[in-house]
Structure 1
């Protein structure tokens, strides 16, 4: 009898421990959404370009120097914005790249992003292989076929996908590696900045409708950051290496304004879906205008790279980066540090000001 009492006491204590662990989070809680699908460029690529014949790769040190997995193909010293968002959504692991994902893994989501990719097919072609927005959408369509097979029916797959989060962030390369590169591309001679923004948004909207037709219902669209403030553009066009290049930033704002309007249009048109706009541009401008409030001391130069402001090209293989990476807004000529990505990712997930997300942030999008 004494032994039975001891066993019962032990089991009560065990149940109590399990409950405490569950409340604390030690027992893996389910994420807010069943899956997370990512479309974009080098800002969020996590390995899809590794096997391509491309100059746009980051699968070597010092990239990933502060990331647990080392140089995975992320264009940062550590986490990207979508890694931060995946954490905040409650996923136990980061979303895997399309190039390596297989089997049941796809049910938690896939990252289709590709460095140098743009909305336009020709964007980034001078850098070699890349997967354009339309190519990423086609890869997603292949994934959906696999989801249907895994879940057993199109109806079950549609229900499942309707609860997932989709983040889309393209357009930067259409300016960096197209419109503002007249030596390689004719777009700046064909279109005014206003016309080019219109053309981009028209193509962008077509791909979003394709995603909708293949089950996407909760889509967060990331605006373009202040490209004219990146070390590369400062090195080329800023007289003092510090003042942001307004002709580039003004073109970026034209695109962002249209993207925000597209959110309204699609929300009215596709009433069973929900679109939202993430204002990356203003977040970066806020950081540049108030760096000390975010812990940054260097906002105009990369932590590694070559040339003025480390802005001429990206990090060279095995190059020694700056030791004070937490102080830098930019990791290389184009891409933010992990510290900056954490700020952007957190404000995309949970808006700190009314301008961060329109009409809702990703946290609220997940709860719909």
Structure 2
């Protein structure tokens, strides 16, 4: 069996997705997600101009060899564009292997380690009462875990708070929207939010919160300590992760669990955080961390150091990526939780899939491969529409982390 075609499909059924479709001489096809929010066309070019021509004639069964060829062979290693492109190829090859074997991909990864994949949804609102109502809605839907984000008093907009509560999409303009940030006001609000959630929903609901890289280590330590009595499931991305030593200070000051890694693209980005047990959950993704092959390496390293998985799962990851993530989640022994932001009906029509949500759990398709396809004709009706993620400034106008 040989690869005879590798095609990049760009579509925008409400938001932009990049998909790689690989076809073999035996008519077996595989899909891989290649979406990099706000920088989609950089990956499109990397694939079309540099990777796809190199795949023609190769044996799709040699997944590890092709991964190493694309990683080592480029010389310029790592980075989000390169690793997203490699991820698309790798994921598509696993899809092909599953179809060729007549098995869902999780069976090729060792089979089930659990019956279902625990997921969390996003409850947000301009005010704490609005958030509580959204939490109630997720609880009614059967979620066992919910991320809570509330507007910060005095700020015109806040990360994680959206007009459409179910289909949050932060990439919202052809030029980046500029938000304003105040750490003191934020640090006053979050403990009030957690107190209100616990008062209404009790101790059993898993409650998560995303800081989105906005604090210094000492500020994050203060926040973590102030939340301990409310038993957060995790505090996500408390500080920018470039300075990994900063996580040591947080760890020394609070027992609130820490999650990080959605912007990581290789095992080297998180090696120290994992091996020195400075985090509790690693949030790397199939699409941004080199595909199923490399993600499994990261998760295996994490398993040796009591770190569990918590993969990113926002709407800028297509159903192809979500499906791939579920197969990995089902198989790895150190699974923690999976983020699950529902896609719009239109997106689901472009990417018909077999995974399903039931009683707080997601279940991957039992079809051979990943169990997700792309309707190319429908995808072609929705051309690329440029959209950027926002940027963030402090109240004095200084650039800050969004």
- Asked if TM exceeds 0.5, the reply is no
More helix by share: 1
Greater RCO (CA < 8 Å, at least 6 residues apart) = 2
Report the TM-score, using the length of structure 1 for normalisation.
0.27
Report the TM-score, using the length of structure 2 for normalisation.
0.26
